[in-house]
């Protein structure tokens, strides 16, 4: 049964990894990096601090906690424990995988840190903002992040699925802690105001705009961008 699931996982991976061009190699190479998304992180920080610094610090702390738990559980616990080779590192399978820019990632890939981090961040912020446009945009961003990892041949769909499930659960848990902590702070007089939706539509549209501008910048500028952080 397990062998059959592994074969199905490999076949699905090849559907996402099979067709490459020089242009899309570079687009996915840049998209899956970290530097290109610095403006998005800064937009979160700017929107949070538009309210008040105490609320901003609490929100940022919880967002960092969610991403850290997602990332460390995937990288520090799951990958060495399950020890499942990435597609591009698998000695029995890597010959079928198309590699972009010589990038093969680390040795093991289950579960995907990128998928977990993206799903955790999207879940937490979607619950925080309660804005339909943001939620749709953020889901698109996360799905493209997941797709880029399979396109580059560094994760199987199973890695992505498991990472996404973990990220969603962590995002929900982080939001629960956020609500609980903020409610207690309001009762004690440390913070003021209603909880949700705490950020208005104008605030959220700023973040949405940054995401789409970054999408456009990646599509246009990727052939000339040479940096990437795995």
Least confident of 7-16, 146-155, 160-169, 192-201: 192-201
Taking the CA atoms of residue 117, residue 79, residue 230 and residue 172 in that order, the dihedral angle to the nearest 10 degrees is 0
Structure tokens at 147: 């797709």
Q: Read off the pLDDT of residues 211-223 as tens digits, 9 standing for 90 and up.
A: 999 999 999 998 8
**Bond into 111 cis (ω within 30):** yes
Residues 6+ away with beta carbon under 8 Å from 163: 70, 74, 111, 112, 113, 114, 115, 116, 119, 155
On whether the CB atoms of residues 115 and 163 are closer than 8 A, the answer is yes
- The mean pLDDT value of the chain amounts to 90
Domain ranges of the chain: 21-224
Label each residue of 143-212 as H, E or C: HHHHHHHHHCCCCCHHHHHHHHHHHHHHHHHHHHHHHHHHHHHHHCCCCCCCCCCCCCHHHHHHHHHHHH
Average pLDDT over residues 103-120: 94
pTM for the complete prediction? 0.91
- For residue 100, pLDDT over 80 is answered with yes
Instruction: Report the distance separating Cα 190 and Cα 186, nearest Å.
Output: 6
Cβ pair 212, 137 in contact under 8 A? yes
Q: Crossing angle of helices 2-17/132-151, nearest 10°?
A: 100
State the Cα–Cα distance between residues 150 and 97, nearest whole angstrom.
Answer: 10
């Amino acid at each position: 049964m397990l062998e059959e699931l592994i074969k199905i996982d490999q076949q699905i991976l090849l559907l996402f990894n099979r067709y490459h061009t020089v242009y899309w190699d570079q687009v996915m190479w840049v998209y899956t990096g970290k530097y290109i998304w610095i403006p998005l992180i800064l937009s979160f920080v700017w929107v949070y601090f538009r309210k008040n610094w105490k609320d901003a610090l609490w929100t940022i702390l919880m967002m960092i906690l969610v991403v850290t738990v997602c990332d460390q559980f995937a990288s520090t616990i799951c990958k060495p424990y399950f020890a499942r080779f990435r597609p591009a590192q698998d000695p029995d399978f890597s010959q079928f995988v198309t590699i972009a820019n010589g990038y093969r990632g680390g040795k093991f890939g289950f579960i995907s840190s990128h998928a977990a981090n993206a799903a955790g961040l999207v879940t937490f912020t979607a619950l925080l903002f309660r804005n339909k446009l943001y939620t749709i945009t953020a889901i698109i961003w996360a799905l493209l992040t997941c797709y880029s990892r399979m396109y580059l041949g560094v994760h199987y769909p199973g890695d992505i699925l498991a990472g996404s499930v973990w990220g969603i659960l962590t995002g929900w848990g982080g939001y629960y802690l956020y609500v609980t902590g903020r409610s207690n702070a309001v009762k004690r007089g440390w913070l003021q105001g209603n909880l949700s939706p705490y950020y208005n539509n104008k605030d959220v549209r700023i973040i949405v705009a940054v995401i789409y501008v970054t999408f456009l910048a990646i599509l246009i500028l990727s052939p000339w961008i040479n940096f990437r952080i795995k």
